[in-house]
Copies of this chain bind each other. A is one copy, B any other.
C-alpha cells in the first residue's frame, strides 16, 4: 500500500528557507510570487492491506519522527 505524509510549518512560524526561495525567484525573474513556505513530503510503501491500520501506523510515525509537532502540522493520505 502506498501512502504520503506531508509535513508543513504551522502558520505563524517563521520560514527563512521559504523567504530565501522567494527572494531567489524574484531575482530569477519569476513574476507574481507573493510568498513561499517549504515543507517535506514522505512517500511511504507499507506492507499489508488494512487501510485503518496503515493510517494509525503513519500517524504514529509522524508523531514520533517525521514531524516536530510543536512547530509543524502533518497530513496523512493513504493512497491504497
Contact = CB atoms under 8 A, between A and B. Distances in A.
- For this chain, the copies found in one complex come to 2
Contacts of A64: 25, 28, 30
B30 A35 contact: no
A14 interface: no
Number of chain A interface residues as a range:
20 to 34
B42 A41 contact: no
A57 B41 contact: no
Nearest to A6: B41
Given A24-B65, A61-B25, A66-B21, A40 B43 contact: no
B25 A46 contact: no
A36 B30 CA distance: 32
